[in-house]
Structure 1
């Protein structure tokens, strides 16, 4: 195991000791009064330092960044609605604070007066693995990276964490405090943890202030658990990361001036994943993991619903769309700021529940599980998801009926995406799009039909699909499929059509793409077509 000489002996607990016993030890260590953990001035200075470094880095980046790379442009209102291009390199500020936090922690845990402060963190490997995760995401922000390459790096980071001692070596049954050595599964569980958590943060980064707020609440939760355990190294780093995220949110709050990007999202996810494994001793790591999982309830529910929806409909499970829970919540008409405060309230509640599970899993876990189940059911039902057996059955039957059409439409859209880059003549691209629609039996709108064709057309065949804030797409889909199923098919072409309009501007009238007469509320995303329900 690659551990640094900075590691001091772990907490004097047996593997069977629970969180309450660990807290008693933490209080015993802190009760010395001269320990670093009770120097509020030190923690306050670290918090201020984190805010200052992140604030200065972001201001400098906004003023000096001149590269065309690392800039996020609007897609016309589909998934990205910013009025002007926004930098997506805010992760640089988080990484700067992360590096300084590791350096400060290295010296502070060796400073006079820090006796009794427990350090379970392999600082050099902790920093290097976090750097690998950040730079992988940052390169993706600048130049793009394949999903396979990103997954490979995440797996390697997980393996490195396992060799460094940041691993899931023991699983404790929370009700009877019976511990089970994971043995050969330790590596698999650890790698899975380091792949899932960063990707959850990256998937959450789809709305101004969302991923940063989630990271902030997780950092506060981890710092509280580290304090009760007397784990000084994690506490010091958590405090500085809290400062960094507070400064970042100053610029990321709607309307955002900078995004954290994949680099920042992966770094925060790595920080949460690794800190959770070294916050406590091996005997209580299960309680910490459960606490983090509960606090991540919102993105876990969102990701699970998205993957099931995409899988059933025939789309790749990792394909981006505008149907996440935070997109659906915007349909109710709340402004982005009000919606963000609502989500923050959910984050805060889940964090408190997570700490309760950590502090007393025997009593809190069953209650929290019931509350989460009921809350998830109520939220999903409010957003239009099927809530009874018949509606679930009908929904799944409809999705499976349209599945082959969706898969075919998605495959064609990928070819059109390549054509968009290759073709210089826009008329050639639009002809290819018309041919693709014809293969799917999607026809011209009413007012472009010949007199004989119009007589046999039906009004209920018409699908009006909103592309963005200013354009709608009027199509006829005279197939037995329902309008909701046709929305799934047409959605496959959404990104490539919007990109083509942005590239060439002019659209042939026979395609049915027209200017929208009534623009949506600029502070909401109510323009999304048929986003209510499991579509």
Structure 2
């Protein structure tokens, strides 16, 4: 597409100019029913496949929960769109590239839900899917001014901008999928926003597919609200994000894609802000950006004393408000844009302070200095972990490595035996072996100790691979490990 407008799209008899309220209700309600029944079936027939087990660090649910919720949503939306194409005469042919690529993006995440594939594999799959959609003609090549005359031809910039849009939104949705009902609820609000844009822009096909996805998410949320009986999984999160990103490219009518994208960007204010905070937080601390942590906005609200239900209502309210702000920009043809921008800026600053990311604006410089000092310590621990990894190759016997490992553990402030006031942590290796290491209660955040413990795992894995056993200083800990935090090996 040289320009994402509907001015050049033939409006033949297969594209009706009006969808009745009854049809809207049927598409929404039908998708809701299919998704709800599909989710119920998975819960009744779930075995040991696709389960999300608690780890007592970030995943605090009490028992293993199925994470295959994306399946019923995909089925419901697919059936609704087929019905709209064949029975409702909504011209499914122009949506074929979007449908194919949404199926591919869902598959990338769903395969990972069944068997973890690693972040790099998933990213390659996401970029590949976005490239296919671009090659099939769905792209951002021209940005027309939605608030006046004129346009900008992006030229070769169209490819990276299109890829960034199509890849970033699924990952943003996946990033906030850390609390019951959060990502599904946000997706519901965003799809209703897309449906309004389709209705306002006289695009019944956009209206119908957005209502179908909203209905599917509503049916899934019946089982996903706290306490969740089933999770979206990567398949569901990627499907929601890619659906929003791809469908939004069809929502400009006699104007520009930028108008619709501005609405979506504003409606995505909370997850975008959460992603921005996470990137800044991890970059400043020297932690890999893709490393998961328990410091997202919803985690912070829980720490502030919110129940899961109250935190969810608060975040839903903000998402609804931002959706309305975004729509106001579209409806006023840009007049409300300065007010919306100021609102978003104040929201970001207020959230940073209220959620505790910034303790005080007056002492902000001191906080940065503390973070940088903590980052230097982390770099030391990671470097020492690599040294222990090299020691496995250098040492000729398990006993020799055991002495080096015991020395390294002490250098990191950890211990191999219980001391007064110390806490035990259990490390679980890929082979299933367990070992216990203790850390003092000295005011250091638990997440800091977990980072130190994580860097020991590669050396222990190589030790077991080379000698078939753990260092002798740990072997007496294996038989009866305490039932405490289990730390899995990171990819």
How do 1:240-389 residues align onto structure 2 when only pairs under 5 Å count?
240-281=212-253, 283-386=255-358
User: Offset at 1:37?
Assistant: 2.9
How do 1:384-423 residues align onto structure 2 when only pairs under 5 Å count?
384-386=356-358, 390-410=362-382
Please say if 1:11 is aligned against 2:14.
Answer: no
- Comparing 342-351 with 371-380, greater Cα deviation is found at 371-380
Give the secondary structure class of the aligned counterpart of 1:363. coil
Give the secondary structure class of the aligned counterpart of 1:250. helix
CA contact (8 A) 2:68 2:230 kept: yes
CA contact (8 A) 1:315 1:407 kept: no
Deviations 1:245-303 (A, max 9, x none): 01110000000000010000000001000111111247321011011000111011111
Alpha carbons of structure 1 residues 226 and 413: separation in structure 2 relative to 1, 3 Å: farther
Corresponding residue of 1:96: 75
User: Offset at 1:223?
Assistant: 0.1
**In 2: Cα distance, 1:437 partner to 1:279 partner:** 57
CA contact (8 A) 2:84 2:92 kept: no
CA contact (8 A) 1:120 1:231 kept: no
Alpha carbons of structure 1 residues 436 and 292: separation in structure 2 relative to 1, 3 Å: farther
Give the secondary structure class of the aligned counterpart of 1:122. helix
Please say if 1:220 is aligned against 2:192.
Answer: yes
Corresponding residue of 1:87: 66
Give the secondary structure class of the aligned counterpart of 1:257. coil
Corresponding residue of 1:73: 53
Relative to the length of structure 1, the TM-score reads: 0.74
Gaps of 5+ in 2: 390-398, 427-435, 461-469, 485-491
Deviations 1:24-65 (A, max 9, x none): xxxxx9xx9x95634211111111110111011111111122
Relative to the length of structure 2, the TM-score reads: 0.81
Alpha carbons of structure 1 residues 171 and 10: separation in structure 2 relative to 1, 3 Å: closer
User: Offset at 1:312?
Assistant: 1.1
Gaps of 5+ in 1: 14-28, 418-426, 449-461, 478-482, 517-535
Please say if 1:491 is aligned against 2:450.
Answer: yes
Give the secondary structure class of the aligned counterpart of 1:215. helix
CA contact (8 A) 1:405 1:489 kept: no
CA contact (8 A) 2:439 2:449 kept: no
CA contact (8 A) 2:224 2:230 kept: yes
**In 2: Cα distance, 1:429 partner to 1:299 partner:** 46
Give the secondary structure class of the aligned counterpart of 1:104. helix
**In 2: Cα distance, 1:109 partner to 1:277 partner:** 22
User: Offset at 1:493?
Assistant: 4.2
CA contact (8 A) 2:415 2:439 kept: no
User: Offset at 1:238?
Assistant: 1.0
**In 2: Cα distance, 1:180 partner to 1:491 partner:** 49
**In 1: Cα distance, 2:299 partner to 2:234 partner:** 19
CA RMSD of aligned residues (A): 4.0
Deviations 1:325-379 (A, max 9, x none): 1101101212111111111111111111111122224211110111111122112
**In 2: Cα distance, 1:289 partner to 1:350 partner:** 14
Deviations 1:180-219 (A, max 9, x none): 1111111110001011000001101000000000100000
Alpha carbons of structure 1 residues 432 and 143: separation in structure 2 relative to 1, 3 Å: farther
User: Offset at 1:474?
Assistant: 4.6
CA contact (8 A) 2:81 2:92 kept: no
Corresponding residue of 1:158: 130
User: Offset at 1:10?
Assistant: 2.7
Deviations 1:367-420 (A, max 9, x none): 011111112211221122336665222222222222232134356679999xxx
